[in-house]
């Protein structure tokens, strides 16, 4: 009699619990069932446990930092591309996260008397991507940024007849975009966009002639830009080496 009263009390208690909680709080008798040997087997509740292997593990980004863009190119390269450079140290672009975005630019006006003047402008920028559970793999994100930069160069305001071609030997993939912008003075523009793993390099190199000087040689502008872009790519690898792997600085004699 005592057992019947106890069981009745329990049934009434369960009946008072809201439906949403009934399964969790009052199903201890039905959550397990007896096996043939009298032992109790677990029900299907174990299937609700999260599976740690169900989420995809993203690869860690290859490059964790960016080089100083104002020091990424050799001084001799700056002198060649930008004769009479205004500031060899360059002008650093503003960035609130130098591990993800950094840039630097140089300009110079080479005056040659009655033969006129040649103006050159060089800009180098880096963009680094990390792996992100929501946004995806670091390399894939960098490739998307790479494609975006190429399209941006092709869509430059005032660009006439942009010519797009692969830039061989620059990073894992690279594209050059060459075009002319006609204003008061024609500007001959070259952009090289390159990618190495999770880092995108964008190098812009422009030239213009003043006061009767001959127009810049577009083929030479392109070749010089590709040479500089190769240095910029190599600087990414150097910046991510351990201190012991860094090339030794030349010692003064």
Q: What is the DSSP string of 87-105?
A: -TT-EEPP-S-TTTEEEEE
Residue 124 host element (H or E): strand 117-128
pLDDT of residue 171 exceeding 50: yes
Write the CATH number of the domain with boundaries 69-241: 3.40.1000
DSSP conformational letter for 139: H
What are the structural domain ranges in the chain?
Answer: 69-241
Q: Report the mean per-residue pLDDT for the chain.
A: 81
List, for residues 133-162, the tens digit of each pLDDT value: 888 999 999 999 999 999 999 999 889 989
Report the predicted TM-score, pTM, of the whole model to 2 decimal places.
0.74
* Residue 95: burial class (beta carbons within 10 Å; 0-12, 13-18, 19+): middle
Pick from 9-23, 35-49, 120-134 the range whose average pLDDT is largest. Answer: 120-134
Q: What integer pLDDT is reported at residue 193 of this predicted model?
A: 98
**Greater confidence, 26 or 145?**
145
pLDDT of residue 30 exceeding 80: no
Residue whose C-alpha is closest to residue 235's, from 140, 124, 142, 110: 124
pLDDT of residue 170 exceeding 60: yes
Least confident piece of the model among 11-15, 96-100, 182-186: 11-15
The answer to whether the CB of 159 falls within 8 A of the CB of 149 is no
* Residues making up the chain, counted from first to last: 253
Separation CA 119–CA 37 (nearest Å) = 93
Question: How far is CA 197 from each of CA 103, 105, 168, rounded to the nearest angstrom?
Answer: 19, 24, 16
Give the burial string for 118-152 (b: 16+ CB within 10 Å, else e). bbbbbbbbbbbbbbeeeeebbbebbbebbeebbee
pLDDT of residue 14 exceeding 60: no
Separation CA 225–CA 191 (nearest Å) = 8
Separation CA 150–CA 194 (nearest Å) = 9
């Amino acid at each position: 009699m005592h057992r019947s009263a106890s069981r009745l009390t329990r049934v009434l208690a369960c009946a008072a619990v809201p439906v949403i909680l009934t399964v969790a709080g009052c199903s201890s008798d039905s959550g397990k069932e007896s096996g043939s040997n009298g032992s109790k087997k677990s029900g299907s509740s174990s299937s609700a446990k999260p599976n740690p292997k169900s989420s995809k593990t993203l690869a860690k980004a290859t490059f964790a930092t960016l080089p100083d863009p104002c020091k990424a190119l050799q001084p001799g390269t700056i002198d060649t591309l930008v004769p009479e450079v205004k500031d060899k140290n360059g002008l650093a672009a503003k960035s609130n996260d130098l591990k993800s975005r950094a840039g630097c630019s140089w300009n110079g006006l080479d005056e040659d008397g009655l033969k006129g003047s040649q103006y050159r402008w060089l800009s180098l920028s880096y963009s680094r991507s990390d792996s992100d559970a929501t946004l995806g793999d670091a390399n894939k994100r960098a490739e998307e940024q790479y494609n975006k930069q190429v399209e941006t160069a092709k869509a430059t305001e005032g660009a006439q007849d942009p010519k797009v071609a692969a830039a061989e030997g620059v990073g894992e993939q690279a594209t050059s975009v060459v075009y002319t912008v006609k204003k008061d003075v024609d500007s001959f523009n070259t952009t090289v966009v390159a990618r190495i793993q999770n880092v995108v390099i964008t190098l812009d190199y422009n030239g213009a002639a003043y006061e009767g000087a001959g127009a810049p040689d577009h083929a030479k502008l392109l070749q010089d830009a590709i040479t500089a872009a190769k240095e910029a790519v190599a600087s990414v690898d150097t910046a991510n080496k351990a201190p012991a792997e860094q090339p030794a600085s030349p010692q003064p004699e």
